[in-house]
Chains A and B, each alone.
Chain A
């Protein structure tokens, strides 16, 4: 438990430290160092959870079980690799004159602030604090989206702020209703929002209040997940902000929002079980929204002219698929969705890192003007090509494995929907490759020049995804299986 406190305290301290630190060059190194320490603490925490099982802190403030332990490690890991990538990237942006050193300081402080809110949201036992942390994540990133101060970036940040703020406010209303339902059955009001208490009393919660609460929670956290039709903020915020922020927004924020949604679904399912005519309403809602999101985002991939918008639509598409899978609720689908959360966030952050380099090489984000990447700088070109192959679901990468599991589960429970999924995957595949193929192949354009890049984060991420595709390590499979037992009631192994 001490390790968890450290994992949270380090980024919290980092906010202050990086704000006070005037020297901008040092900031990048310190940012990586702090993220590394945070990851170390998270790994130590995971080891003790592995040895002792789920744990709750004595005063009940934190709770770590099989579901959030791997997400905490994943968040800290992607936080570290993106921090390593962002130092030379931001230095390059500084040289190009797109920002000044005061804004760079704001960037590093906010980066640690974002990591802190993500880890707090994951580790908190209190569902109210989970909400506070999710709102904090918006607040800490909104000034990063407008970091370049262009009219477009300010528009994107305004949209992001208003849409996510309003969306997440619905989730607070849902939380109030949840607290209202809980206070009827849990006498101690200070415990009535604690996850560990709530899940034990889930079957006693009043079903009508819980379904209304879930409606609001779905809209609220669904906005953050990027579910259609609440997704409008996502491509704008991804395309106009600095690329490291796109990487962590796609790789981490969406996952944490989905995590919150799944926790709420578990409570709602518990409350509705056996009480009313339709006990699976929460799952059906998630399936519906997930499937629509998946299909609509796949179609939108074909219309994109901006490379970062392209991949942000791909994120929306994958979040839709995961929401759909969690909605189905059968063990196999849940297992697949948990795996998909991990491989998607690894692959997508790797892609955004390469995209960042690619747009620095071509000095533009317009797909039409990015050409011949392999000829210009093979590492970046191949990184983009392999990353896209991985995210499109090519074997032997991990995304293939998880999508295969999801398709199998769909075929067993909702055979007719398999066709929709297959069509959606095909559309998305075509949309991605139609854009990526001309960008990586072809001759080197006159204006493009190789830049200094650090491809290690990309290589490590893609190797991990490859490893997860070939053989999931025993520990991880064990965790996924335990998390599946928590969420779906029984395991698959």
Chain B
């Protein structure tokens, strides 16, 4: 099946999925904390746009609510919260550079290939678009994990965590046209509470280790207590 043969809205979903993947890769290696947060806001916007698109096409009014929730939470509230932290702790020029960005990028590419391969059996009976979207959602989830592992600063780790959530949300919308409303609301509530708790944590981290550098969190290990 060729791209041009798909319905217009399917083309749009695929294009947006590609944008989400691209943004995830940018977030993965971008050294400046401020830019990573902005990229994350754009990713949230892309996910919200997809949700609205699916809602329009599938004529599912409840999806407009989730689109609005995503827009408010992922594109505005959480980036705003993080930017406020940046202001408060004066991290405007702060860098969180990876030691081996090329290695991380190549690892990410391999992960994407792996995701396409893993989802092959699932996609066998389904349309090409679902295959692409399932694979991209899974990639975004796994890339979010890579970001959590490779980053050192608490702020960028939180962005990784939330990017991972974006991938999940994208999967729920694009693959299944949204989960039941009660689940969507519950998930959104959990994300909101998580964002607030992260905010509290920044203060605690600042107070206790005088830094948002989580690589300094190394007091608890099996060896140290011997």
Contact = CB atoms under 8 A, between A and B. Distances in A.
A126 to B, nearest CB: 7
Given A129-B186, A150-B208, A143 B197 contact: yes
B226 interface: yes
A212 B197 contact: no
Interface string B147-164: 010000010010001001
B201 A159 contact: no
B209 interface: yes
B201 A161 contact: yes
A176 B225 contact: no
B201 to A, nearest CB: 6
B48 to A, nearest CB: 18
Interface residues of A, number: 52
A62 interface: no
A128 B186 contact: yes
A277 interface: no
A154 B205 contact: yes
Contact of A159 (B121, B122, B220, B222): B220
A209 B208 contact: no
B138 interface: yes
Given A143-B197, A169-B168, A303-B226, A154 B186 contact: no
Interface in B137-187: 137-138, 141, 144-145, 148, 154, 157, 161, 164-165, 167-168, 171-172, 175-177, 179-180, 182-183, 186-187
Interface string A278-307: 000000000000000000000010011110
B41 to A, nearest CB: 20
Given A156-B220, A158-B205, A206 B161 contact: no
Contact of B157 (A162, A189, A206): A162
Interface centre among A129, A154, A156 (most CB of B within 10 A): A154
B197 A142 contact: yes
A166 B187 contact: no
A27 B203 CA distance: 27
A155 B186 contact: no
A189 B168 contact: no
A243 to B, nearest CB: 17
A65 interface: no
B186 A132 contact: yes
A165 B145 CA distance: 11
Given A132-B183, A157-B201, A206-B125, A183 B176 contact: yes
Contacts of B6: none
Contact of A139 (B148, B190, B217): B190
B100 interface: no
A159 B167 CA distance: 22
Interface centre among B154, B171, B209, B218 (most CB of A within 10 A): B171
A173 interface: yes
Contacts of B138: 173
B168 A176 contact: yes
A471 to B, nearest CB: 41
Contacts of A180: 175-176
Interface centre among B138, B148, B161, B225 (most CB of A within 10 A): B225
B119 A212 contact: yes
A180 B122 CA distance: 10
B201 A306 contact: no
Interface residues of B, number: 51
B113 interface: no
B214 interface: yes
Interface centre among B172, B179, B208, B209 (most CB of A within 10 A): B179
A161 B197 contact: yes
Contacts of A300: 222
Given A176-B175, A209-B122, A151 B161 contact: no
A154 B220 CA distance: 10
Interface in A146-172: 146, 149-152, 154-159, 161-162, 165-166, 169-170, 172
Interface centre among B118, B209, B222, B226 (most CB of A within 10 A): B222
B13 to A, nearest CB: 15
A306 B225 contact: yes
A136 interface: yes
B180 A172 contact: no
A324 interface: no
Interface string B99-130: 00000000000000000001101101100000
Interface string B189-208: 11001100110110011011
Contact of B145 (A131, A166, A193, A240): A166
A135 interface: yes
A447 interface: no
A272 to B, nearest CB: 13
Contacts of A132: 183, 186-187, 189-190
25 contacts: A126-B180, A128-B187, A132-B183, A136-B190, A136-B193, A142-B197, A146-B201, A151-B219, A154-B201, A155-B218, A161-B197, A162-B161, A166-B148, A172-B168, A172-B187, A173-B138, A173-B141, A176-B168, A176-B175, A177-B122, A179-B172, A179-B176, A206-B122, A240-B220, A304-B225
Interface of A: 126, 128-129, 131-132, 135-136, 139, 142-143, 146, 149-152, 154-159, 161-162, 165-166, 169-170, 172-173, 175-177, 179-180, 183, 189-190, 192-193, 206, 208-209, 212, 236, 239-240, 300, 303-306, 309
What 5 pairs across the A-B complex have the smallest Cβ distances? A128-B183, A132-B186, A208-B121, A155-B217, A305-B225
Given A126-B183, A176-B172, 8 more contacts: A131-B186, A131-B187, A151-B209, A158-B201, A161-B198, A166-B164, A172-B168, A300-B222
